[in-house]
Chains A and B, each alone.
Chain A
């Protein structure tokens, strides 16, 4: 199959995966236990996504300028900065650290 074929196959798989979730009856999710599972799942997924975005490079763990982004974002959050400021702090920290020649 050509590259185009695999691109379209990947797109179809991705969409069907998303759609399949919407075919699960909503009432299955609407009880106290599933509410709790949904809450813990969200925390777990966000913690994992944060770690992957900060430290993973393929299958390797690396310490680079993204560590500075994580620290700057944590500082901004501790100072109760608005969400957009938090994101900008992360970008600025990574950019400045790379400008300084690290990571």
Chain B
């Protein structure tokens, strides 16, 4: 299969573009919060985790201390530890690739990889989204930091709406079947209920804990929708869903199809 036709690469490139453009917003807001160009770029290049970066400049912009900003960023980054565990098992980077993989382990690369069934596609998705977002996020952070006021409020371009749509788009194909939809609703509710009560970033971890406990205590064969394909429209749902009734490890063709996209 050609890389160009790979569903994981397609999704990876799309999300790179959407998330990368959002970097304009970070760059502009960071400079507005009082960081200089080099400090703004250091956050995008080295910290490289959108939520943590916005939290850091949000605290600084609101008059908070550096310690408080670093603490907020660290809390928001805890989920990257969970992603690291998952991606280590799924992508299995070796040698020098491991520390590189760690740096590009973020929401988008993890979601793109885990949206695929075929191990080859999972790796392609992870690296395309991870490296793609890294390059574009930093490029557009620089644009935003340099252009600053000339852009006006980045929200007027709807860039925060693009982020909402991207996360819903990654979630959507997983919602086939009652059980995954119920888990999503419960976790969404847990988030809504805890946002007003807990510091930024913690509600996401609460939802993760709820989801993890549901998974741990309802230990049965993976039902449809829990191991979805990110590109769900390539074939009729009935055929597609039938494939997902098996555990990934039990799929007879999962290891041997040499990159043939699952769901094609």
List the interface of chain A (C-beta within 8 A of B).
1-11, 13-15, 17-24, 26, 28-30, 32-33, 35-56, 58-61, 65-66, 68-70, 72-74, 76-77, 80, 82-84, 86-96, 98-99
Q: Is the CB of B77 within 8 A of A14?
A: yes
With the chains together, A17 CA to B78 CA distance in Å?
Answer: 7
**B73 to chain A: which residues have CB within 8 Å?**
10, 13-14
Most B CB contacts (10 A, CB to CB) among A20, A37, A55, A66 go to: A37
CB distance from A103 to the nearest CB of B (A): 9
A29 to B88, CA, bound (A): 9
Task: Please give me the residue from chain B that is nearest to A89 by CB atom.
Answer: B165
In the bound assembly, the distance between CA atoms of A93 and B187 in angstroms comes to 25
Q: Give complex CA distance A8, B41 in Å.
A: 12
Is there contact, CB below 8 Å, between A73 and B169?
A: yes
Q: Which of B69-110 contact A (CB under 8 A)?
A: 69-70, 73-74, 77-89, 92-93, 98-99, 101-103, 105, 107, 110
A26-B89, A48-B203 as given contacts; A21 in contact with B80, CB under 8 Å: yes
List B contacts of A80 (CB < 8 A). Answer: 233
B158:A43 contact, CB within 8 angstroms:
no
Residue B172 lies at the interface, judged by CB distance under 8 Å to chain A = yes
A-B CB contacts (within 8 Å), total count: 334
Given A40-B211, A47-B191, A98-B156, CB of A33 within 8 Å of CB of B105: no
Q: Is the interface of B mostly helix, strand, loop or mixed?
A: helix
| Residues in chain B near residue A37, CB distance under 8 A | 212, 215-216
Known pairs A1-B66, A38-B86, A46-B167. 9 more at Cβ < 8 A? A6-B66, A13-B74, A13-B77, A18-B77, A33-B215, A36-B220, A41-B212, A51-B195, A83-B10
**B80 & A14 in contact (Cβ 8 Å cutoff):** yes
B93 contact set on A, CB distance < 8 A: 22
Which B25-39 residues sit within 8 Å CB-CB of chain A? 35, 39
Q: Tell whether, in the assembled complex, residue B155 and residue A83 are in contact, meaning their CB atoms are under 8 Å apart.
A: no
Q: Contacts A41-B215, A43-B184, A69-B165; is A20 near B84 (CB within 8 Å)?
A: yes
Complex partner residue of B171 from A11, A20, A46, CB under 8 angstroms: A46
User: 1/0 per position for B197-210, CB-CB distance to A under 8 A?
Assistant: 11110011011101
Pick out which of these stretches binds chain A: B11-19, B143-151, B255-263.
B11-19
Ordered by A's residue number, 29 sampled pairs between the chains whose C-beta atoms are within 8 Å are A2-B66, A3-B66, A6-B65, A14-B49, A18-B81, A19-B99, A21-B81, A21-B87, A28-B89, A32-B247, A33-B215, A33-B216, A36-B215, A36-B220, A42-B86, A43-B171, A43-B174, A44-B183, A45-B204, A46-B111, A46-B170, A47-B187, A53-B164, A73-B168, A83-B169, A84-B17, A89-B165, A96-B158, A98-B155
Q: Which 4 A-B pairs have the closest CB atoms?
A: A21-B84, A44-B211, A90-B165, A94-B161
Residue from B83, B192, B199, B222 in contact with A51 in the complex, judged by beta carbons closer than 8 Å: B192
Q: How far is the CA of A73 from the CA of B164 in the complex (A)?
A: 8
Which chain B residues border A13 with CB–CB below 8 Å?
A: 70, 73-74, 77
Given the complex of chains A and B, what is the CA–CA distance between A58 and B48 in angstroms?
A: 20
How far does the alpha carbon of A86 sit from the alpha carbon of B102 in the complex, in Å?
Answer: 28
Asked if A45 and B207 make an inter-chain contact with CB atoms under 8 angstroms apart, the answer reads yes
CB distance from A9 to the nearest CB of B (A): 5
B219 sits at the interface (CB 8 A)? yes
